[in-house]
Amino acid sequence: MEALRKFKDDSLVRKCKTVGAALESKGFKTILCPDGEAAAKAVLDLVSPEQTVGVPGSVTVRQLKLIDKLTEKGCKVYHHWDPNLAPEDRKERFINANTSDWFITGTNAVTMDGALVNIDGVGNRVSAMAWGPGKIIYIAGVNKICVDVPEAIARVKNEAAPPNTARVGGKTPCVELGKCIECHVPDRGCRITSIIEYAPMGRECYVVLIADSFGY
Ligand code: SF4
Q: Is residue 63 part of a domain?
A: yes
174 Cβ inside 6 Å of ligand 1: yes
Residues 11, 132: Cα–Cα separation, whole Å: 33
Q: Is residue 94 part of a domain?
A: yes
Residues 197, 77: Cα–Cα separation, whole Å: 28
Per-residue pLDDT tens over the stretch 192-215:
999 999 999 999 999 999 999 999
> Chain-centre distance of CA 151, in angstroms?
17
Residue 186 backbone dihedrals phi, psi, to 5 degrees: -60, -30
Domain span at residue 200? 2-210
To which H or E segment does residue 10 belong?
Answer: helix 10-25
Q: From the CA of 127, how far away is ligand 1's center (Å)?
A: 20
Could you count the other beta carbons within 10 Å of the beta carbon of residue 147?
11
Could you count the other beta carbons within 10 Å of the beta carbon of residue 185?
9
Q: Phi/psi zone of residue 215: left (φ > 0), alpha (ψ -120 to 50 degrees), beta?
A: left
Residues 209, 57: Cα–Cα separation, whole Å: 19
pLDDT bracket for residue 69 (50, 70, 90): very high
Q: Is residue 187 part of a domain?
A: yes
160 Cβ inside 6 Å of ligand 1: no
Q: From the CA of 172, how far away is ligand 1's center (Å)?
A: 7
Q: What is the layout of strands, in order, in the sheet containing 76-79?
A: 29-33, 205-210, 135-141, 102-106, 52-55, 76-79
Residues 192, 122: Cα–Cα separation, whole Å: 8
Per-residue pLDDT tens over the stretch 146-174:
999 999 999 999 999 999 899 889 999 99
Per-residue pLDDT tens over the stretch 70-116:
999 999 999 998 888 999 999 999 999 999 999 999 999 999 999 99
Q: Is residue 29 part of a domain?
A: yes
Per-residue pLDDT tens over the stretch 126-150:
999 999 999 999 999 999 999 999 9
CATH number for the domain harbouring residue 141: 3.40.50.10420
To which H or E segment does residue 40 belong?
Answer: helix 36-46
Q: What is the pLDDT of residue 6?
A: 57
Q: Is residue 216 part of a domain?
A: no
DSSP line for 65-100 = THHHHHHHHT-EEEETT-TT--GGGHHHHHHHHHTS
Q: From the CA of 210, how far away is ligand 1's center (Å)?
A: 27
180 Cβ inside 6 Å of ligand 1: yes
Residue at 58: amino acid letter: S
Q: Is residue 215 part of a domain?
A: no
* Contact between 110 and 179 (Cβ < 8 Å): no
161 Cβ inside 6 Å of ligand 1: yes
Q: Is residue 58 part of a domain?
A: yes
How many domains does the structure of the chain reveal? 1
Residues 203, 101: Cα–Cα separation, whole Å: 11
Residues 179, 67: Cα–Cα separation, whole Å: 31
119 Cβ inside 6 Å of ligand 1: no
Q: From the CA of 62, how far away is ligand 1's center (Å)?
A: 24
Q: Is residue 24 part of a domain?
A: yes
Beta bridge partners, 103, equal 54, 136
pLDDT reading at 7 higher than 90? no
* Contact between 205 and 104 (Cβ < 8 Å): no
Nearest CA to ligand 1 atom 6: 190
